[in-house]
């Protein structure tokens, strides 16, 4: 029986919550395993409607975890069963865990955690993937290109996938491309907020996988997304200060026009009165 342990902690979408997750895969057979986990709420508020759900490759299935609430400091130990169809290839597959929960105001939060799953014999990947650490300001999208490097002396058809918490989204989530031997490239992508909270950090993951000689090869990479509040734009800063001279000129011109019209009207009345007086004298 082979054990694979992995630990990954992530700050979730709120400063009041920090969820710590450690996992260990315990293989019962080639096609079946237990995903043992320890989940701890390191924050200072209860996490409600806690769900732990694996994102599995095609051909695998698993049960999910659901807990009504996870109090601060509470340690939750459990296991998820993972099963693969007998026809799946040997090798190492990417496996990502998504933790979803809500705060006391029922606002949904989520975190992604990396994991891998090996069927039969393990494999290593000659193709690596990378994602950048970026900062999002408000709802403005940013470039989020995924880097891919093929260190092998042969070309590969590779599948690239991006894994994000529910509060973030990308224009390209998954794509298969051909990588030439000893080459590097980038998958053009765009990232934006889908309800992310300001002043929060989110973990992001990307995987690359390919088949060679009937064996699956894969690797995972992680990055961080910082979401910041856009600067407040004051009216006096954004308009009046930029157009101060023009506004002063406009005010002066407007006052001059008003004064001229007013004077003209008064002059017209006086002239008419003078004409009437002349007619009376006649």
pLDDT digits (tens, 9 = 90+) for 108-124: 999 999 999 999 999 99
Q: Is the CATH code 2.60.40.1230 the one for domain 1-122?
A: yes
Relative to beta strand 32-41, strand 60-62 is unpaired
- How far out from the chain centre does Cα 214 lie? 34
Architecture of domain 124-231: Sandwich (2.60)
Is there a common fold for 1-122 and 124-231? yes
Segment 263-274 shows an average pLDDT of: 53
Least confident of 119-123, 236-240, 248-252: 236-240
CA angle 91, 182, 164 (to 5 degrees): 55
Segment 227-231 shows an average pLDDT of: 92
**What's the CA gap between 113 and 98, in Å, rounded?**
6
Using the predicted structure, report yes or no on whether residue 7 has a pLDDT greater than 80: no
Phi, psi of 194 (to 5 degrees): -120, 40
Give the pLDDT score at 250. Answer: 73
pLDDT tens-place string over residues 132-173: 999 999 989 999 999 999 999 999 999 999 999 999 999 999
Domain boundaries, the chain: 1-122, 124-231, 235-281
| pTM for the predicted model, two decimal places | 0.78
């Amino acid at each position: 029986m082979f054990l694979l342990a992995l630990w990954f902690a992530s700050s979730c979408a709120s400063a009041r919550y920090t969820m710590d997750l450690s996992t260990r895969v315990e293989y019962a057979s080639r096609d079946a395993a237990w995903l043992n986990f320890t989940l701890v709420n390191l924050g200072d508020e209860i996490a409600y409607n806690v769900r732990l759900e694996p994102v599995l490759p095609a051909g695998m299935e698993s049960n999910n975890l659901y807990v009504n609430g996870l109090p601060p400091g509470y340690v939750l130990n459990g296991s998820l069963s993972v099963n693969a169809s007998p026809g799946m290839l040997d090798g190492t597959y990417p496996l990502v865990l998504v933790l979803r929960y809500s705060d006391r105001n029922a606002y949904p939060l989520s975190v992604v955690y990396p994991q891998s799953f090996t069927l039969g014999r393990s494999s290593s990947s000659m193709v690596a993937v990378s994602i950048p650490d970026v900062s999002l300001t408000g709802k403005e999208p940013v470039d989020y290109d995924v880097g891919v490097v093929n260190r092998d002396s042969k070309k590969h058809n590779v599948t690239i996938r991006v894994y994000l918490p529910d509060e973030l989204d990308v224009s390209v989530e998954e794509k298969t491309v051909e990588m030439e031997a000893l080459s590097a490239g980038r998958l053009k992508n765009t990232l934006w907020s889908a309800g992310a909270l300001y002043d929060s950090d989110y973990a992001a993951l990307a995987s690359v996988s390919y088949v060679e000689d009937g064996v699956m090869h894969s690797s995972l990479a992680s990055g961080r997304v910082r979401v910041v509040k856009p600067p407040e734009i004051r009216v006096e800063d954004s308009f009046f200060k930029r157009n101060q001279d023009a506004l002063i000129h406009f005010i002066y011109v407007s006052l001059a026009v008003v004064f001229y019209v007013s004077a003209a009207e008064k002059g017209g009345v006086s002239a008419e009165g003078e004409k009437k007086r002349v007619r009376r004298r006649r």
